[in-house]
Amino acid sequence: MNFLDVKTDYAFKKVFGSEESKEILMSFLNALVYENAKYKIKDLVIVDPYNIPMIKGVKDTFVDVKAVLDDDTKVIIEMQILNHKGFEKRVLYNAAKNYSIQLNKAEDYHLLNPVIGLSIVDFIMFEESESVVNKFKLIEKEQFINYSDDIELIFVELPKFKKEIDALENIKEQWIYFVQNAGSLEYIPNNLDETIKQALQNANEANLNKDELEAQHKRKEFISIQKLAVLKADEEGFEKGMEKGLEQGKLEEKIQIAKNLLDILDDETISFKTGLSVEAVENLRK
């Protein structure tokens, strides 16, 4: 069997945002968002369900799956492959925008319903935390008094998850393992929850039509190119930084030599000996 890599955006929406994904998405959200809560999702509506994607204007490396829960909470689920400048602000902006657009001008604020932003990211965001899942909401800074649960941001950092399939302890870990590893599996493991097995069936390439397969493969190729571009930029930046560091080191060495010669030689001779300009030597003397 070959399964889609659900870390790619269209595959993620195929699995979690299709018409037949309701039970799958409820299990996923109950495991990651409502893990220790008394309340569990019993129903939801998927907003803007998956359709066969068009590839013409490919430019983003994330996708939203939006759902409205049975208590009217809106959840925005995002799969993000590449880190980029301003990503954290975009997540916050997206959640705040979805919160604010619920009201018309004449409506009361008490009609606002909570918004949860769930971001699954394939990079490290919070190096100071060892947790795979980090949750944020508005609280008082010193006494940790809860202000509001109306906007909550949840981040799942896939690179922090190191468990193999035989070590999975609960359904939350099974779902994280699924998102991280579905694309490399060759069969459906028996020890997974039945809902996750169904998610793997949805990700089975044998169940996709020709247009869907072509779109998924092109999307994966596009993201691979983007990753290589980021890697190349990082490498070039490192090399330039090294060159600049060496140049700075040589300059500092010249300045130190010049300082040691100030009481012995005149400015022109020091300039000749060190390669510094006469003006630079004069400034050192001042």
List pLDDT tens digits, range 138-170. Answer: 999 899 898 888 999 999 999 999 999 999 999
Kindly state whether residues 117 and 64 are assigned to the same domain.
yes
Residue 118 lies in a domain: yes
DSSP run (H or E) holding 79: strand 74-80
Question: Quick one: pLDDT at residue 228?
Answer: 59
Residue 236 lies in a domain: no
Question: Quick one: pLDDT at residue 196?
Answer: 95
- Tokens standing for residue 275: 């390669």
- Tokens standing for residue 224: 């691979």
CB 118 within 8 A of CB 33: yes
CB 167 within 8 A of CB 185: no
Kindly state whether residues 93 and 149 are assigned to the same domain.
yes
Distance, CA of 255 to CA of 257 (rounded, Å): 5
Among the residues of the chain, which ranges form H helices?
9-16, 22-32, 87-100, 171-181, 194-203, 210-261, 267-274, 278-285
The CA–CA distances, whole Å, from 3 to 22, 179, 200, 207, 214 equal 20, 11, 7, 10, 14
Kindly state whether residues 198 and 255 are assigned to the same domain.
no
User: How many other C-beta atoms can be found within 10 angstroms of the C-beta atom of residue 265?
Assistant: 15
Kindly state whether residues 164 and 272 are assigned to the same domain.
no
What is the residue range of 277's domain? 248-285
Block residue for tokens 């290589």: 228
Please count the helices (runs of H) and the strands (runs of E) in the chain: 8, 6
Residue 36 lies in a domain: yes
Highest mean pLDDT among 6-15, 97-106, 127-136, 223-232: 127-136
Q: What is the pTM of this model?
A: 0.72
Angle between helix axes 278-285 and 210-261 (nearest 10 degrees) is: 70
Residue 218 lies in a domain: no
User: How many other C-beta atoms can be found within 10 angstroms of the C-beta atom of residue 150?
Assistant: 15
Block residue for tokens 């604020």: 109
Does residue 286 have a pLDDT over 80?
A: no
Counted domains in the chain: 2
CB 53 within 8 A of CB 219: yes
Torsion angle defined by CA atoms of residues 208, 209, 210 and 216, in that order, rounded to the nearest 10 degrees: -40
- Tokens standing for residue 57: 């204007």
**Structure confidence by residue, pLDDT tens digits, 195-247:** 999 999 988 887 777 777 776 666 666 656 555 555 555 555 555 655 565 56
Comparing 8-12, 125-129, 214-218, 224-228, which segment has the lowest mean pLDDT? Answer: 224-228
Average pLDDT over the chain reads 82
